[in-house]
Amino acid sequence: MKYIVDLSAERVEVELAGGRAVVDGADAEARLVEVAGTPVRLVTIGDRVHRVIARRTGERGAYTLWVDGWRYDAEALDERRRAIRDLSAARAEAGGPAPLVAPMPGLIVRIGVAVGDEVAAGQSIVVMEAMKMENELRTTSAGRVTRINAEVGSTVDRGAVVVELG
C-alpha cells in the first residue's frame, strides 16, 4: 500500500509491502512490534530501532507521533485520498492568514517571532508546555505577524489566539 505522508512541513511517499518499506525511493526491511500493555511500538527500519507512540487526532489520517521522545504532527493518506484532499484545498478560497491558536491550556515557553516578522506556512513560532511536554506551535499559512497576545512565562487557555497574522 502506498501512502503520502505530511510530516511537519515535509511530504514523503511511503510504500509498505511484505515486511519492506520504501520511503522516497529508499528501500529497507521494516518491522513493527507492539509492547504489551503499553501504547509503545518498536519500529525497526533497516538496522535502526525507534520507540514510537501514535495517537489519532481530529481528521482522518491525522496523528500525533512521539518518536524517540520527539513530537511530530503527521497526516498519512493513501494516494487516492491525498489527491482528493489536495484538489479540495486547491479549490477552497483563501481566507487570509490564520491566527496561531493554543490547542490546549499551557505555559508559553518561547516565542520565536516579533511583530512585523514574515512567517512561512508550517513555521514553528511558539513553544508551549502542556502536561510536562513542550509542544511547537506552527503556522498553517504564511503571513506577517501583526500582534502577539502572550508573553514568555504566561499561561494561555485552549483556543486562545496567541499570535495574529495579517
What backbone phi and psi angles, to 5 degrees, belong to 36? Answer: -55, 135
Whether the predicted model's global pTM rises above the 0.85 cut: no
The pLDDT tens digits along the chain (166 residues) read 899 998 877 899 999 998 999 988 899 999 999 999 999 999 999 999 999 999 998 788 889 999 999 998 999 888 888 877 777 665 554 567 888 988 889 999 999 999 999 998 888 999 999 888 888 888 888 899 999 999 999 999 988 999 999 8
User: In this predicted structure, what is the pLDDT of residue 50?
Assistant: 95
Q: How far apart are CA 110 and CA 150, in angstroms?
A: 10
User: In this predicted structure, what is the pLDDT of residue 151?
Assistant: 95
What backbone phi and psi angles, to 5 degrees, belong to 85? Answer: -65, -40
Cβ atoms of 153 and 107 within 8 Å: the answer is yes
User: In this predicted structure, what is the pLDDT of residue 154?
Assistant: 95
Closest CA to 126 of 146, 150, 142: 150
Residue type at position 132: K
Cell (9 digits) for 16: 509498505
Q: How far apart are CA 123 and CA 139, in angstroms?
A: 6
Give bridge partners of residue 101 from the DSSP assignment: 161
Closest CA to 41 of 65, 71, 6: 65
Closest CA to 129 of 147, 148, 111: 111
Q: Give the DSSP H/E element, type plus range, for residue 81.
A: helix 79-91
User: In this predicted structure, what is the pLDDT of residue 158?
Assistant: 86
Residue recorded with cell 518491522? 31
